[in-house]
Structure 1
Amino acid sequence: MNDEEEQFMRPRVYSCCKCRNQVCLHDDIISKDFQGRHGRAFLLSHSMNIDVGQKEDRQLMTGLHTVADIYCSDCREVLGWKYERAYEETQKYKEGKYILEKAKIIRDNW
């Protein structure tokens, strides 16, 4: 396999903007149309190499949610949050999902 073929076979990943720790796969993105504290954000089904903080109720643009900030497991940079609970029925699909802010992650391996 040549370098170009090998590059094509590797999964596309996003990494922490500070330390380059891999935090999610491109394939885990559910939506790119979310808003974070610092601008645009991705909604993801899964994230890796992160630590989950304390749960707290937060009033977001779409209503009241119980969320927990997520941190890079290497450098502790806050990358976004995890939806623990949605109080409105129309928002229940977010439960257990992750928000990663585009300003806090970079593309890696692509």
Structure 2
Amino acid sequence: MGKLFREYLNNSCVYSCSNCHTHLAAEDALVSKAFQGRLGRAYLFNEVVNIECGPAEEKMLMTGLHSIRDVHCSHCRAYLGWKYEMAFEQEQKYKVGKVILEKEHTQKENGWR
């Protein structure tokens, strides 16, 4: 049986699931807003909570071959983006372990200006 609770982020500014408002990432975990997802702009995060990962797949992305896992909201199961498991090109290895959240599937909550 999976988790029976959702992790709540106490940060003033958080990214959440646009479908169910489950907290996903704190603003200070954001690495870059300059990424491209399947549906447009995407954000790269060091740490994301309340997600479930699918099986690893090798995919040819704009920056080369990577092993990634689709990520879904652990509460409502909505698709959110993907997690980098492995990068095959040396200059892309900084992404390993980080998570892409697509802007289309997230929203900003709390103290944003």
TM-score computed with the length of structure 2 as normaliser: 0.87
CA distance in 1: counterparts of 2:15 and 2:68, whole angstroms: 22
CA distance in 1: counterparts of 2:63 and 2:42, whole angstroms: 14
What aligned pairs does 1:2-41 form with structure 2 within 5 A after superposition?
A: 10-41=11-42
Alpha carbon RMSD of aligned pairs, Å?
Answer: 1.1
Q: Which runs of 5+ in 2 are unaligned?
A: 1-9
Q: Note the C-alpha offset of 1:10.
A: 4.4
Runs of 4+ in 1 over 3 A off after TM superposition: none
Aligned equivalent of 1:50? 51
CA distance in 2: counterparts of 1:16 and 1:82, whole angstroms: 16
What is the one-letter code of the residue matched to 1:93?
Answer: Y
TM-score computed with the length of structure 1 as normaliser: 0.90
What is the one-letter code of the residue matched to 1:69?
Answer: D
Is contact 2:29-2:46 (8 Å) kept? Answer: yes
Where 2:93 maps in the other structure, the secondary structure is helix
CA distance in 2: counterparts of 1:102 and 1:13, whole angstroms: 13
Aligned equivalent of 1:3? none
CA distance in 2: counterparts of 1:82 and 1:30, whole angstroms: 14
Q: Which runs of 5+ in 1 are unaligned?
A: 1-8
Q: Note the C-alpha offset of 1:11.
A: 2.3
Greater helix proportion: 1
User: How many residues align structurally?
Assistant: 102
What is the one-letter code of the residue matched to 1:85?
Answer: M
Percent sequence identity over matched residues? Answer: 49
Deviations 1:21-46 (A, max 9, x none): 01111110000000000100001000
CA distance in 2: counterparts of 1:73 and 1:89, whole angstroms: 32
- Which has more radius of gyration? 1
CA distance in 1: counterparts of 2:52 and 2:11, whole angstroms: 25
Where 1:74 maps in the other structure, the secondary structure is coil
CA distance in 2: counterparts of 1:26 and 1:105, whole angstroms: 13
Where 1:92 maps in the other structure, the secondary structure is helix
Aligned equivalent of 1:62? 63
